[in-house]
Amino acid sequence: DLPLLVLQNETLGHLAAPGGTRILADLIAQFITLETLPIAVILQGLAVRLASETNPVGEQLAQLTARQVPLLICRESLAELHLECTLKDGRLVSQREIAETLLKAEPIYWL
């Protein structure tokens, strides 16, 4: 089964940006290099800050969407943080759609 990748923060672990964001970008790049593409990537919580082309993870997210991996971006998180999505291939979704996606997926990798 293909994994679902859920990003909840703009960095990996407890590392602060920009270093933690660069390490997150490198980890996502490894999924691409290993040709283990997730069925989808969800950005929620602080990770919606990555829904901009001007961050270190933007290139990797664009590579995933170019390979037909859906990028689902939490609409409620964007609203709560007063942000807008500038990634052209990201799709804004509700918490309901995120919940439905989570219920169908296995395994789920939380980053």
Those residues of the chain that have pLDDT short of 70 are: none
Is the distance from CB of 94 to CB of 73 less than 8 angstroms? no
Which pLDDT belongs to residue 27?
Answer: 95
Which pLDDT belongs to residue 43?
Answer: 97
The verdict on whether omega for the bond into residue 18 sits within 30 degrees of 0, i.e. cis, is yes
Which pLDDT belongs to residue 13?
Answer: 86
Which pLDDT belongs to residue 52?
Answer: 83
Question: CA-based angle 102:37:59, to the nearest 5?
Answer: 105
pTM: 0.94
